[in-house]
Amino acid sequence: MVRDVTVGRDFVVIAGPCAVESEEQAFAAARAVRDAGARMLRGGEFKPRTSPHCFQGLEEEGLAILREAGRLTGLPVVTEIMDTRHLEIVCECADVLQVGSRNMQNFALLKELAQAGRPVLLKRGMNATIEEWLGAADYLLTGGNPDVILCERGIRTFETYTRNTLDLSAIAAVRELSDLPIIIDPSHGTGRASMVAPMSLAAVAAGADGLMIEVHPDPPNALCDGDQQLTPAAFTDLASDVHAMVGFMRAPQGASGGPTPTTRS
Protein backbone atom coordinates (compact mmCIF):
# COMPACT_ATOMS: atom_id res chain seq x y z
CA MET A 1 0.00 0.00 0.00
CA VAL A 2 2.85 2.43 0.77
CA ARG A 3 5.82 1.15 -1.24
CA ASP A 4 6.78 -2.12 0.46
CA VAL A 5 4.59 -1.52 3.54
CA THR A 6 1.05 -2.83 3.71
CA VAL A 7 -0.57 -1.06 6.63
CA GLY A 8 -2.93 -3.44 8.38
CA ARG A 9 -0.81 -6.46 7.52
CA ASP A 10 2.66 -5.17 8.47
CA PHE A 11 3.02 -3.43 11.81
CA VAL A 12 4.14 0.06 10.90
CA VAL A 13 6.15 2.44 13.05
CA ILE A 14 6.08 5.99 11.71
CA ALA A 15 8.57 8.29 13.42
CA GLY A 16 10.29 11.62 13.02
CA PRO A 17 10.18 15.15 14.31
CA CYS A 18 7.05 17.10 15.06
CA ALA A 19 8.26 19.77 12.65
CA VAL A 20 11.04 19.95 10.11
CA GLU A 21 13.29 22.69 11.49
CA SER A 22 16.47 22.42 9.41
CA GLU A 23 18.27 20.02 7.12
CA GLU A 24 20.60 18.98 9.93
CA GLN A 25 17.75 18.29 12.38
CA ALA A 26 15.57 16.44 9.87
CA PHE A 27 18.39 14.29 8.49
CA ALA A 28 19.60 13.35 12.00
CA ALA A 29 16.08 12.37 13.04
CA ALA A 30 15.46 10.46 9.81
CA ARG A 31 18.67 8.44 10.10
CA ALA A 32 18.02 7.67 13.75
CA VAL A 33 14.49 6.41 13.20
CA ARG A 34 15.47 4.41 10.11
CA ASP A 35 18.34 2.76 12.01
CA ALA A 36 15.98 1.88 14.85
CA GLY A 37 13.57 0.14 12.47
CA ALA A 38 10.91 2.75 11.67
CA ARG A 39 9.11 2.00 8.38
CA MET A 40 8.05 5.57 7.57
CA LEU A 41 9.30 9.06 8.28
CA ARG A 42 7.07 11.81 9.61
CA GLY A 43 7.66 15.56 9.79
CA GLY A 44 5.50 18.67 9.63
CA GLU A 45 6.02 21.74 7.47
CA PHE A 46 2.58 23.31 7.73
CA LYS A 47 2.04 23.31 11.47
CA PRO A 48 -1.43 23.89 12.96
CA ARG A 49 -0.30 25.96 15.97
CA THR A 50 -2.66 27.34 18.60
CA SER A 51 -0.95 30.74 18.50
CA PRO A 52 0.07 32.61 15.35
CA HIS A 53 3.17 33.72 17.28
CA CYS A 54 4.50 30.15 17.45
CA PHE A 55 6.68 28.49 14.81
CA GLN A 56 4.43 27.77 11.85
CA GLY A 57 6.73 25.37 9.98
CA LEU A 58 9.17 25.81 7.12
CA GLU A 59 6.42 25.24 4.56
CA GLU A 60 7.76 24.69 1.03
CA GLU A 61 11.41 24.74 2.14
CA GLY A 62 10.56 22.11 4.76
CA LEU A 63 8.87 19.90 2.17
CA ALA A 64 12.08 19.82 0.12
CA ILE A 65 14.09 18.91 3.23
CA LEU A 66 11.70 16.15 4.22
CA ARG A 67 11.67 14.74 0.71
CA GLU A 68 15.46 14.63 0.74
CA ALA A 69 15.46 13.01 4.20
CA GLY A 70 13.11 10.35 2.84
CA ARG A 71 15.33 9.80 -0.18
CA LEU A 72 18.51 9.53 1.91
CA THR A 73 17.00 6.99 4.27
CA GLY A 74 14.77 5.18 1.78
CA LEU A 75 11.76 5.78 4.03
CA PRO A 76 8.33 6.73 2.71
CA VAL A 77 7.27 10.14 3.98
CA VAL A 78 4.14 11.17 5.90
CA THR A 79 3.29 14.83 6.22
CA GLU A 80 0.29 16.95 7.13
CA ILE A 81 -1.74 18.87 4.62
CA MET A 82 -3.95 21.67 5.93
CA ASP A 83 -5.02 23.45 2.79
CA THR A 84 -6.24 22.18 -0.58
CA ARG A 85 -4.13 24.87 -2.24
CA HIS A 86 -1.01 22.98 -1.09
CA LEU A 87 -2.04 19.66 -2.58
CA GLU A 88 0.32 19.71 -5.53
CA ILE A 89 3.45 20.70 -3.61
CA VAL A 90 2.70 18.34 -0.73
CA CYS A 91 2.12 15.44 -3.13
CA GLU A 92 5.56 16.05 -4.64
CA CYS A 93 7.02 15.15 -1.23
CA ALA A 94 4.57 12.90 0.55
CA ASP A 95 3.87 9.21 0.16
CA VAL A 96 1.08 9.52 2.75
CA LEU A 97 -1.02 12.62 3.37
CA GLN A 98 -1.84 13.34 6.99
CA VAL A 99 -5.07 15.05 7.99
CA GLY A 100 -4.53 16.51 11.45
CA SER A 101 -6.87 16.43 14.38
CA ARG A 102 -8.00 20.00 13.78
CA ASN A 103 -8.99 19.23 10.20
CA MET A 104 -10.71 15.88 10.66
CA GLN A 105 -14.03 17.40 9.67
CA ASN A 106 -12.69 19.77 7.03
CA PHE A 107 -14.97 18.25 4.44
CA ALA A 108 -13.63 20.31 1.53
CA LEU A 109 -10.15 18.98 2.30
CA LEU A 110 -11.41 15.40 2.67
CA LYS A 111 -13.26 15.56 -0.66
CA GLU A 112 -10.11 16.79 -2.37
CA LEU A 113 -7.93 14.12 -0.74
CA ALA A 114 -10.37 11.44 -1.83
CA GLN A 115 -9.12 12.13 -5.34
CA ALA A 116 -5.45 12.79 -4.55
CA GLY A 117 -4.14 9.32 -5.37
CA ARG A 118 -2.26 9.03 -2.07
CA PRO A 119 -3.04 7.09 1.10
CA VAL A 120 -4.44 9.32 3.83
CA LEU A 121 -3.61 9.10 7.52
CA LEU A 122 -6.71 10.49 9.21
CA LYS A 123 -6.17 11.65 12.76
CA ARG A 124 -9.08 11.63 15.14
CA GLY A 125 -10.44 15.05 15.95
CA MET A 126 -9.68 15.92 19.55
CA ASN A 127 -13.41 16.38 20.17
CA ALA A 128 -14.69 13.75 17.77
CA THR A 129 -16.66 10.64 18.60
CA ILE A 130 -15.66 7.42 16.91
CA GLU A 131 -18.79 7.67 14.76
CA GLU A 132 -17.79 11.16 13.59
CA TRP A 133 -14.25 9.94 12.89
CA LEU A 134 -15.52 7.03 10.80
CA GLY A 135 -17.88 9.42 9.04
CA ALA A 136 -14.89 11.55 8.07
CA ALA A 137 -13.11 8.41 6.83
CA ASP A 138 -16.19 7.63 4.77
CA TYR A 139 -15.77 10.92 2.88
CA LEU A 140 -12.42 9.60 1.69
CA LEU A 141 -13.66 6.08 0.96
CA THR A 142 -16.83 7.00 -0.87
CA GLY A 143 -14.98 9.82 -2.61
CA GLY A 144 -12.71 7.23 -4.25
CA ASN A 145 -9.75 6.74 -1.92
CA PRO A 146 -9.63 3.21 -0.44
CA ASP A 147 -6.31 3.80 1.38
CA VAL A 148 -7.27 5.28 4.71
CA ILE A 149 -5.29 4.79 7.92
CA LEU A 150 -6.97 5.91 11.13
CA CYS A 151 -4.80 7.47 13.83
CA GLU A 152 -5.97 7.85 17.43
CA ARG A 153 -4.11 10.78 18.99
CA GLY A 154 -6.00 11.46 22.18
CA ILE A 155 -9.18 13.31 22.96
CA ARG A 156 -10.11 16.23 25.21
CA THR A 157 -11.32 15.24 28.65
CA PHE A 158 -11.33 16.96 32.04
CA GLU A 159 -7.85 15.52 32.73
CA THR A 160 -5.03 18.04 32.54
CA TYR A 161 -1.99 16.01 33.61
CA THR A 162 -1.73 14.68 30.10
CA ARG A 163 -2.08 16.87 27.00
CA ASN A 164 -4.95 14.68 25.80
CA THR A 165 -6.50 11.45 26.99
CA LEU A 166 -5.28 8.65 24.77
CA ASP A 167 -8.32 6.53 23.95
CA LEU A 168 -6.89 3.06 23.47
CA SER A 169 -10.40 1.63 23.51
CA ALA A 170 -10.71 3.19 20.05
CA ILE A 171 -8.62 0.27 18.76
CA ALA A 172 -11.19 -2.28 19.86
CA ALA A 173 -14.09 -0.07 18.78
CA VAL A 174 -12.66 0.42 15.29
CA ARG A 175 -12.13 -3.33 15.01
CA GLU A 176 -15.83 -3.83 15.70
CA LEU A 177 -17.05 -1.09 13.38
CA SER A 178 -14.65 -1.00 10.44
CA ASP A 179 -12.03 -2.84 8.43
CA LEU A 180 -9.70 0.16 8.36
CA PRO A 181 -6.26 -0.06 9.95
CA ILE A 182 -5.74 1.97 13.11
CA ILE A 183 -2.49 3.32 14.46
CA ILE A 184 -1.79 5.14 17.74
CA ASP A 185 0.02 8.42 18.34
CA PRO A 186 1.12 8.33 21.98
CA SER A 187 3.17 11.52 21.55
CA HIS A 188 0.20 13.85 21.08
CA GLY A 189 -1.96 11.44 23.06
CA THR A 190 -0.01 12.12 26.25
CA GLY A 191 2.15 15.17 25.57
CA ARG A 192 4.83 13.63 27.77
CA ALA A 193 7.93 11.83 26.52
CA SER A 194 7.98 9.70 29.68
CA MET A 195 4.59 8.22 28.83
CA VAL A 196 5.23 7.40 25.18
CA ALA A 197 6.83 3.99 25.80
CA PRO A 198 4.17 2.53 28.13
CA MET A 199 1.34 3.76 25.91
CA SER A 200 3.07 2.40 22.80
CA LEU A 201 3.34 -1.06 24.32
CA ALA A 202 -0.25 -0.89 25.54
CA ALA A 203 -1.33 0.01 22.00
CA VAL A 204 0.49 -3.01 20.60
CA ALA A 205 -1.14 -5.22 23.24
CA ALA A 206 -4.55 -3.84 22.32
CA GLY A 207 -4.01 -4.79 18.67
CA ALA A 208 -3.00 -1.52 17.01
CA ASP A 209 -1.68 -1.74 13.45
CA GLY A 210 1.10 0.72 14.11
CA LEU A 211 2.42 3.73 15.96
CA MET A 212 3.28 7.30 15.11
CA ILE A 213 5.99 8.66 17.40
CA GLU A 214 7.71 12.03 17.50
CA VAL A 215 11.52 11.90 17.64
CA HIS A 216 13.87 14.89 17.76
CA PRO A 217 17.68 14.93 17.99
CA ASP A 218 17.48 17.58 20.72
CA PRO A 219 13.99 17.70 22.29
CA PRO A 220 14.68 20.49 24.83
CA ASN A 221 15.47 22.81 21.94
CA ALA A 222 12.67 21.68 19.61
CA LEU A 223 10.66 24.48 18.02
CA CYS A 224 7.43 22.69 18.89
CA ASP A 225 6.24 19.85 21.12
CA GLY A 226 9.60 19.49 22.89
CA ASP A 227 8.02 17.87 25.95
CA GLN A 228 6.69 14.89 24.04
CA GLN A 229 9.45 14.16 21.55
CA LEU A 230 11.77 11.22 22.21
CA THR A 231 15.52 11.37 21.84
CA PRO A 232 16.94 9.01 19.22
CA ALA A 233 18.33 6.83 22.05
CA ALA A 234 14.95 6.57 23.79
CA PHE A 235 13.25 5.81 20.48
CA THR A 236 15.78 3.09 19.69
CA ASP A 237 15.06 1.37 23.02
CA LEU A 238 11.32 1.69 22.53
CA ALA A 239 11.41 0.43 18.94
CA SER A 240 13.22 -2.70 20.08
CA ASP A 241 10.59 -3.35 22.79
CA VAL A 242 7.78 -2.67 20.33
CA HIS A 243 9.18 -5.10 17.78
CA ALA A 244 9.57 -7.79 20.44
CA MET A 245 5.99 -7.23 21.56
CA VAL A 246 4.67 -7.28 18.01
CA GLY A 247 6.48 -10.60 17.50
CA PHE A 248 4.81 -11.98 20.58
CA MET A 249 1.37 -10.71 19.62
CA ARG A 250 1.61 -12.05 16.10
CA ALA A 251 3.15 -15.41 17.01
CA PRO A 252 1.09 -18.40 15.89
CA GLN A 253 -1.56 -19.43 18.43
CA GLY A 254 -0.09 -21.75 21.01
CA ALA A 255 3.47 -20.51 20.53
CA SER A 256 5.16 -19.17 23.66
CA GLY A 257 2.40 -17.14 25.18
CA GLY A 258 0.46 -16.72 21.97
CA PRO A 259 -1.47 -13.77 20.62
CA THR A 260 -4.76 -12.30 21.77
CA PRO A 261 -7.76 -13.12 19.62
CA THR A 262 -8.29 -9.44 18.72
CA THR A 263 -5.11 -8.83 16.72
CA ARG A 264 -4.82 -9.07 12.95
CA SER A 265 -2.54 -11.84 11.75
Which residue lies nearer to ligand PEP by CB, 65 or 249? 65
Nearer to Mn ion, 101 or 106 (CB): 101
Site string for Mn ion, 201-230 (x = CB under 5 A): ------------------------x-----
Binding residues for ligand PEP, rule CB under 6 A, total 10
Which residue sits closest to ligand PEP, CB atoms considered? 100
What is the DSSP secondary-structure string of the chain?
A: -BTTB-BTTB-EEEEE-SB---HHHHHHHHHHHHHTT-SEEE-BSS---SSTTS----HHHHHHHHHHHHHHHT--EEEE---GGGHHHHHHH-SEEEEPGGGTT-HHHHHHHTTSSS-EEEEPPTT--HHHHHHHHHHHHHTT---EEEEE--B--S--SSSSB--THHHHHHHHH--S-EEE-HHHHHS-HHHHHHHHHHHHHTT-SEEEEEB-SSGGG-SS-GGGPBPHHHHHHHHHHHHHHHHHHTSPTTSSS---TTS--
Find the part of the chain contacting ligand PEP (CB under 6 A) among 100-108, 111-119, 215-223, 248-256.
Answer: 100-108
| The only residue of 34, 39, 153, 163 in contact with ligand PEP, by rule CB under 6 A | 153
144 binds, among Mn ion, ligand PEP, none (CB under 5 to 8 A by kind): none
Q: Per rule CB under 5 A, is residue 40 in the interface with Mn ion?
A: no
Q: How far is the CB of 124 from ligand PEP (least distance, A)?
A: 8
* Residues from 169 through 228 that contact ligand PEP (CB under 6 A): 188
Residue with smaller CB distance to ligand PEP, 145 or 187? 187
Give the footprint of ligand PEP on this chain (CB under 6 A).
18, 44, 48, 80, 100-102, 123, 153, 188
